[in-house]
Amino acid sequence: MCGIVGYTGSRPAAPLLIEGLKRLEYRGYDSAGIAVEEGASIKAVCRTGKIAQLEQSVTPLHLTGACGIGHTRWATHGEPTEANAHPHLACDGSIAIVHNGIIENHGELRRILEERGHAFASETDSEVIVHLIEDAYSMLAFEASEEDDLTDAAGMRVPHTVAAEMSAGEPSLLAQAVGMACGFLIGSWALCVMAEFEPGKIVCARKESPLLVGCGADGVHVASDVTALAGHVEQACVLADGQIAELDAHAFNVFAQDGEMLTKVDADLMVLDARMDAADRGQYPDFMLKEIHEQPRVIRDTLEDRFDGTRLTIDELGLTHEELNLIERVYIIACGTSYHAALVAKNLIEGWARIPCEVEVASEFRYRNPIITPSTLVVAVSQSGETADTLAAIRDARIKGAKVFGITNVQGSPVARESDGVIYTRANKEVAVASTKSFTGQIVSLTLLALLLAQSKGRLNQGQIRLLFSELVDTAAQAEAILRDVQSVKEAALACKDARSAMFIGRGMGAAVAEEGALKLKEVSYLHAEAYPAGEMKHGPIALIEPGFPVIAVATESPTYEKVLSNIQEAKTRGAFVVAVATEGDERIGQHADRVILIPKVRDALSPITAIIPLQLLAREIALLRGCNIDQPRNLAKSVTVE
């Protein structure tokens, strides 16, 4: 949550910062701001709302400085006002910072800093950082000038930094001050700092929140993620926890805190994945629709090179056949949509591999002391690969001795780096805040994992795996067929758009699809929605049903189809307006549902891959009819990097 960018080089920084912030806007869009070095001072501009608002304010200012930092905010501490927008400035305006993360001890630090005479301009936790750096810098500069006894030609003492150019491998005083300030912080941070007295420099620091630095042809760039660096740099260094980087117009140095000293370390460079470049909406009106339509391609890409006709392989897993065979329990940890993909996988892992599988929301898993033994495999699923709760759960599981396997969409993301093995979902960059194609990539990857476990355990034979794999491949064409005819979805959306609430029901695989369908509707249309396993409806939620109340039923062909049909009738009897997602050729469903969305026949185990598509489209269509912002729903951010 929150996106930060920085640039120092030979080009005007402001347009580059705005462009970078636009690319990071999915990380938060409550307010935005930039700070640019203009002559000998720092000029900061902040606005509430989207980056477009900021851009309108910045354009007439003709900022020409070639060093600057920027921020797009998802508010945690302090309302989304201009005062709370980043960058935050030191009391005298000489230092500017942007921060992503949470400073847990900000209350205590603020009290101490106020006692020391610092004046705060915002309610944010982040502002303590700039005041701490201000104090640390004054102290270090004083000590340095005492030691060096620097004097000019007239015998006057001159500020240390005027004389102390960053020599190769030596951290500047600003970098040291940032290191010292970080020593007082508890929480998480990705920071960019610039100061009037260190012209052309940006100092960055990181703990738990992501930050990447890379050199381009005309300067050095820093950003919260690859998206903002794409096209500017080919390789980037993902800063590790506790590291500090110092950038000038030509290069950057990375330092690790070594007691009170900063010691230079080698920058670990990663080649950027071109597929994660800033995406283009193409002919589509919004990214969500584009990404829904990309799902057939995601299915094909995710399955490529996985099955040679005889054996299924996932080399990235990093586990031998013997190790896989020893697995006796699987935990899948995830949040949001990724959690719903995990619910699908539980059925497959238990059904095919006969291994007990528990699925848990990451934020609960880590506080619950789960039973983990050496034969437990923990699978962490995360599109962004940087969800704070999922990461915390991974760390916890590893401390408890589990092997952790990540399923993520982002190369080099913390989930990828902190897991023992990883499958990339090959969905490519997902821009819309509401996940769609990454859900499909996750289900397909988890299906492969379930098949692999079944193969290793000898629970499915070669012929069965071949058949299932080929049916999995076929879902791509079936998804294409669904996307070709969306008329029934549009009609259902028109009928439901004025509802205040909706219920999604299904059983087995359909229950997981119902959960995801309800989440999509809530996220993009702000219509209240609840998902229930269809059989649970009679235990309480049925009381909600009154004439016209929308019930969206996943009623595809499955062993529980008859039961779902009965549940639909129970709802219908009480006046519900029923929309059913059902299988082509189903001649009975039309007698019970008010609207029917037919999809091709798919084996029940694979049905979530196709059954979710109409529900994604339905949510988007209702949101459109209600005039909502499809790609950037209110209050949300794509990467949830706070716990």
Which residues form the catalytic set?
2, 638
Q: Smallest gap, in angstroms, from Cβ of residue 523 to ligand M6R?
A: 5
Q: Smallest gap, in angstroms, from Cβ of residue 47 to ligand M6R?
A: 25
CA 411 to chain centre: 12
Q: Smallest gap, in angstroms, from Cβ of residue 334 to ligand M6R?
A: 6
276 is written with which tokens?
């994660």
Residue whose C-alpha is closest to residue 508's, from 534, 530, 531, 478: 534
Taking the CA atoms of the chain, what radius of gyration do you get in angstroms? Answer: 27
Residue 48's DSSP bridge partners are 31
CA 214 to chain centre: 21
Q: Smallest gap, in angstroms, from Cβ of residue 138 to ligand M6R?
A: 41
Comparison of 24 and 555: residue with beta carbon closer to ligand M6R: 24
Q: Which residues contact 293 (CB under 8 A, 6 or more apart)?
A: 284, 483
Residue whose C-alpha is closest to residue 372's, from 350, 399, 348, 351: 399
356 is written with which tokens?
């007990």
d(CA 556, CA 116): 67
d(CA 45, CA 38): 12
369, 626 Cβ separation under 8 angstroms: no
3-state SS, residue 386? coil
CA 101 to chain centre: 14
Comparison of 5 and 434: residue with beta carbon closer to ligand M6R: 434
Q: Output the residue with the shortest Cβ distance to ligand M6R.
A: 336
CA 369 to chain centre: 26
615, 589 Cβ separation under 8 angstroms: no
3-state SS, residue 381? strand
Comparison of 384 and 478: residue with beta carbon closer to ligand M6R: 384
Comparison of 409 and 455: residue with beta carbon closer to ligand M6R: 409
Comparison of 31 and 390: residue with beta carbon closer to ligand M6R: 390
Comparison of 172 and 382: residue with beta carbon closer to ligand M6R: 382
Query: From start to end of 319-475, where are the E strands?
Result: 329-334, 357-361, 376-382, 403-408, 421-424
Q: Smallest gap, in angstroms, from Cβ of residue 362 to ligand M6R?
A: 8
Q: Smallest gap, in angstroms, from Cβ of residue 403 to ligand M6R?
A: 20
For 424, left (φ over 0), alpha (ψ -120 to 50), or beta? beta
Q: Smallest gap, in angstroms, from Cβ of residue 244 to ligand M6R?
A: 27
Site residues (vs ligand M6R, CB under 6 A): 335-338, 382-384, 387, 390, 433-435, 523, 636, 640
Comparison of 372 and 642: residue with beta carbon closer to ligand M6R: 642
